[in-house]
Amino acid sequence: MSRLLAALMLCLCGVTAAAAPAEFRSRLSQDASGGQGIGADVVAELRFGREIAARLLRRFPLYEDAALTRYVTLLGQSIARHGGRPELQYRFAVLDSDEVNAYAAPGGYIFVTRAAVAAAGNEAELAAVLAHEIAHVERRHIVEALQIRARDDGAHAGLALLLGGAGDSARIAFGQAVDRAVEILLSEGLQQADEFDADQGAAMLLSYAGYPATALARYLARLAPAEATTTALHRTHPPLAARMAALPEAAAAATAVTPAQHARFVEHLKTLRPAP
């Protein structure tokens, strides 16, 4: 009997070592290296996102308004600091486009169109648009969509493996991954589940940053009357009604913004060129 128990114990000990999940083993090595391994993966993500950002900027020119860009950047940074990726330097730009939309490239490159800025009713709603895009980056949705995965680790490490190589084959793989990511962002859109996930993340980020968690639902409600004509948003995102239904009740929003937030929002948007 005691021999049986001893054998069982040894067996369980073996299972203990073998069954320790890859994530746990990975964490141990990351901790031991002081985060250096993760840093290399972030570098790969930044390189990837930077190329995607350059492609988006070829498709949509920058809206040249330094004061507005700085305001959007400050607003975006005030949201991003409540996220879970302090290693990223988020960057923000306004695109000169009449289409209401926003885009996020890996590594923290966030874009919002001029029309999307103009559609915001107040600072909280503009913050909501940025928060939705920041949530895409935080959740690494593009990397997940491309199914860039290593065998036994997270998507992040898979990105480093794919993009960290040298030589022609690595360059081709890199280029193909960028092409595919741009196609997803501009044409196909992410999976609907990712959009709902980003909405939930945005509500949380807004709340943590001191804005009403309902601001995104309010912004989407503003877009609803023109949904049939906002082709770009419709093409890349789930129906607005479904998104609003999954968010905190817009009607329950207590307030919106402080007088100071309202004043600076109005000030920075007063010269915004309207849609034709």
Partner 1 sequence: MRHTLLTALLIATPWSVHAETIYVQSVKAKLMSAPALTAQVVAEAPKGTAFDVIGSRDGWYEVRRDGATAWLSKLVAAPHQPLTKITVLPAADSAPVDNHARRRASVVTTAGAARGLAPAARARRDDTGSDYAALEKMEATHVTEEETRRFIEEGAAP
To the nearest whole angstrom, how small is the minimum distance from the Cβ of residue 226 to partner 1? 28
To the nearest whole angstrom, how small is the minimum distance from the Cβ of residue 117 to partner 1? 15
Q: How many of the other CB atoms lie within 10 Å of CB of 44? A: 23
To the nearest whole angstrom, how small is the minimum distance from the Cβ of residue 188 to partner 1? 18
Q: Which is nearer to partner 1, 164 or 227 (CB)?
A: 164
To the nearest whole angstrom, how small is the minimum distance from the Cβ of residue 232 to partner 1? 19
Q: Which is nearer to partner 1, 1 or 228 (CB)?
A: 1
Instruction: Report which of 266, 182, 254 is spatially closest to residue 218, judged by C-alpha positions.
Output: 254
Per residue, the 3-state secondary structure of 191-252, as one string, reads CHHHHHHHHHHHHHHHHHHCCCCCHHHHHHHHHHHHHHHCHHHHHHCCCHHHHHHHCCCHHH
To the nearest whole angstrom, how small is the minimum distance from the Cβ of residue 130 to partner 1? 13
124, two tokens: 């909280």
Q: Which is nearer to partner 1, 49 or 230 (CB)?
A: 49
Q: Which is nearer to partner 1, 12 or 224 (CB)?
A: 12
Q: Which is nearer to partner 1, 24 or 147 (CB)?
A: 24
Alpha helices per DSSP H over the chain: 2-19, 22-32, 36-59, 66-80, 114-119, 123-138, 141-145, 155-163, 168-183, 192-209, 215-223, 231-236, 240-246, 259-269
- Contacts for 60 with CB less than 8 Å, ≥ 6 apart: 95, 96, 97, 111, 113
